[in-house]
Chains A and B, each alone.
Chain A
Amino acid sequence: MPKLLLLFISSAVVNNFVLAKFLGNCPFLGVSKEVNTSLGMGVATTFVMVMSGVATWLINHYLLIPLELQYMQTIVFILAIATLVQFVEMVMKKYTPALHRALGIYLPLITTNCAVLGLAVMAVRESYSFIETVVFALGGGIGFSLALALMAGLREDMKEDLIPEAFRGPAIALITAGIMAMAFMGFSGILPS
């Protein structure tokens, strides 16, 4: 159990997908203008990450490893994630229209979020067990949401600031992201090496 907790903290904070592994930077910069939308994106991504973590683990263990086709991981995972996102969208539309309306536009975007694929590939590389993969995915998703919400909060505040013209827009956003990444490096002391 402590091992799982450690894994969760590791994937959520210490090895944060966005700020330590630099995955999923596109939505990190694209959907971080308002806190509300960034939270929506975060929740949707977390959901898809857990689902795809489960799906790719099953595919890897019951299809690719028995057939010795591990080299096809990436392309099979992409296919599985894309299908899964489509499927999740349909189910949501049918049973939870409110959630679908809230997340609607973000769901298709997640298909191409490299954090989701990165999670699947990393879970395989670290040869996590099924439970470990789920915890890893949940932590990764929550870490992603956290980074997105923090960034959105900062950017909302910065909107009013007088930023030199050369730094406005994406420039200051990337600088902010860099400083945030450095701050997150401070968490690396938490984990026993």
Chain B
Amino acid sequence: MSPLILSLIVMGSLGLVFGLGLALASRKFAVESDPHIDEIEAVLPKVNCGACGAAGCRAFAEAVAAGKMPVNGCVPGGAAVTAQIASIMGVDADETKEREVAQVMCQGDYEHAKLRSLYDGLQDCRAAMGAAGGPKGCVYGCLRLGSCVKACPFNAIGLNEHGIPVVDESRCTGCNKCVEACPRNIIELRPVSMGVHVRCRSISKGADVRKVCTIGCIGCMKCQKTCKYDAIHVENNLARIDYSKCTNCGECAEVCPVGSIVKQGKTVIVRESIAVDKVETKTQKA
């Protein structure tokens, strides 16, 4: 037999034997993992966003199966996924926390906010931020270059015609990506039921705010005085809403002279214990 043929046969049969050996070994030594892991992983959104705190969906599934993480840990999955995971694990899904959605806390579009310079560089908020703090007059406001839009894995943010990001709350999963992407920290996660927001992050004095933006909070205290529920306070020249007390009544939005507070028309919440107390004290004072 010629060496060529012999070497071919030896090599081929060795490869075959090794291959078959490995195939058999992989059957024989297959590690039985918890079937729950695969089932949970199958119902997860598999975006590997990391919002749950685990390193990806597989890690989260393993942690849930091992009982190290709660069944409602998946943020993008929301209530639907939580219910599925809960049924896989055979536990109640009652303790679901409310879904949070991103809210953009700036309305300083081209119409309302002044520019102090022209920025012609890389179309990215962080890059613009690096160029002497960005082109915008207000150093707290949205840079309108859409880094949050690019960061969103769910196409839930878009820029409106004036360049301000708008969140589609039905699509937003509260994964926190846009919050991390925004160099000005103007995006925040808020409970989805809350419909009144102070859409401004400027802590400049009222007069300074007026110079650069006509829609920014000037810290006039009107909202604080109007609120019946003690849910809105002005600190550092900026109104902040205490979402544990807010009832979506929207009276603050009505009195706001600049239009910083926006009411989205969501269902008004009845907060029995807190609301009654505060309303009473307010009326007594009056």
Prevailing SS type, chain A contact patch: helix
Instruction: Please tell me if the beta carbons of B10 and A67 are within 8 angstroms of each other in the complex.
Output: yes
Instruction: Please tell me if the beta carbons of B6 and A69 are within 8 angstroms of each other in the complex.
Output: yes
Instruction: Please tell me if the beta carbons of A79 and B29 are within 8 angstroms of each other in the complex.
Output: no
Assess whether B22 is interfacial by the CB under 8 Å rule: yes
State whether A69 and B10 are in contact (beta carbons under 8 Å apart), knowing that A93-B31, A94-B31 are contacts in the complex.
yes
State whether A83 and B21 are in contact (beta carbons under 8 Å apart), knowing that A91-B29, A94-B31 are contacts in the complex.
yes
Instruction: Please tell me if the beta carbons of B18 and A79 are within 8 angstroms of each other in the complex.
Output: yes
Least CB distance, B1 to chain A, in whole angstroms: 10
Q: Which residues of B contact A87 (CB under 8 A)?
A: 21-22, 25
* A87→B11 CA distance, assembly (Å): 19
Assess whether B244 is interfacial by the CB under 8 Å rule: no
Instruction: Please tell me if the beta carbons of A76 and B29 are within 8 angstroms of each other in the complex.
Output: no
* A79→B7 CA distance, assembly (Å): 14
Partner of A79, one of B3, B15, B26, B30: B15
Instruction: Specify the chain A residue showing the minimal Cβ separation from B27.
Output: A90
Given contacts A76-B14, A79-B11, A83-B22, 15 further A-B contacts (CB under 8 A): A63-B10, A69-B3, A69-B6, A69-B7, A72-B7, A75-B11, A76-B10, A76-B11, A80-B18, A83-B21, A86-B22, A87-B21, A90-B26, A90-B29, A93-B31
Instruction: Specify the chain B residue showing the minimal Cβ separation from A90.
Output: B29
Can you list 19 A-B contacts (CB < 8 A)?
A63-B14, A67-B10, A68-B3, A69-B3, A69-B10, A76-B11, A76-B14, A79-B11, A86-B22, A87-B21, A87-B22, A87-B25, A90-B25, A90-B26, A91-B25, A93-B29, A94-B29, A94-B30, A94-B31
Least CB distance, B5 to chain A, in whole angstroms: 12
Partner of A67, one of B6, B22, B31: B6
Least CB distance, B31 to chain A, in whole angstroms: 5
**Would you list the 4 A-B pairs with minimal beta carbon distance, nearest first?**
A83-B18, A94-B29, A90-B29, A90-B25
Instruction: Specify the chain B residue showing the minimal Cβ separation from A82.
Output: B18
Instruction: Please tell me if the beta carbons of B31 and A79 are within 8 angstroms of each other in the complex.
Output: no
Q: Which residues of B contact A83 (CB under 8 A)?
A: 18, 21-22
Most chain B beta-carbon contacts within 10 A, residue among A75, A79, A90, A97: A90
Chain A interface (Cβ < 8 Å from any Cβ of B)? 63, 67-69, 72, 75-76, 79-80, 83, 86-87, 90-91, 93-94, 97
* A67→B6 CA distance, assembly (Å): 8
* A13→B109 CA distance, assembly (Å): 72
* A33→B13 CA distance, assembly (Å): 42
Q: Which residues of B contact A67 (CB under 8 A)?
A: 6, 10
**Contact mask B1-45 → A, CB, 8 Å, 1/0?**
001001100110011001001100110011100000000000000
Q: Which residues of B contact A79 (CB under 8 A)?
A: 11, 14-15, 18
Q: Which residues of A contact B11 (CB under 8 A)?
A: 72, 75-76, 79
Least CB distance, B177 to chain A, in whole angstroms: 28
Least CB distance, A56 to chain B, in whole angstroms: 12
Least CB distance, B280 to chain A, in whole angstroms: 61
Q: Which residues of B contact A91 (CB under 8 A)?
A: 25, 29
Q: Which residues of B contact A97 (CB under 8 A)?
A: 31
* A97→B31 CA distance, assembly (Å): 10
* A40→B151 CA distance, assembly (Å): 38
Instruction: Specify the chain B residue showing the minimal Cβ separation from A75.
Output: B11
Least CB distance, A76 to chain B, in whole angstroms: 6
* A68→B18 CA distance, assembly (Å): 21
Least CB distance, B107 to chain A, in whole angstroms: 48
Instruction: Please tell me if the beta carbons of A72 and B15 are within 8 angstroms of each other in the complex.
Output: no
* A110→B267 CA distance, assembly (Å): 62
* A36→B285 CA distance, assembly (Å): 69
* A169→B241 CA distance, assembly (Å): 51
* A87→B15 CA distance, assembly (Å): 14
Q: Which residues of B contact A86 (CB under 8 A)?
A: 22
Q: Which residues of A contact B21 (CB under 8 A)?
A: 83, 87
Least CB distance, B67 to chain A, in whole angstroms: 18
Instruction: Specify the chain B residue showing the minimal Cβ separation from A59.
Output: B14
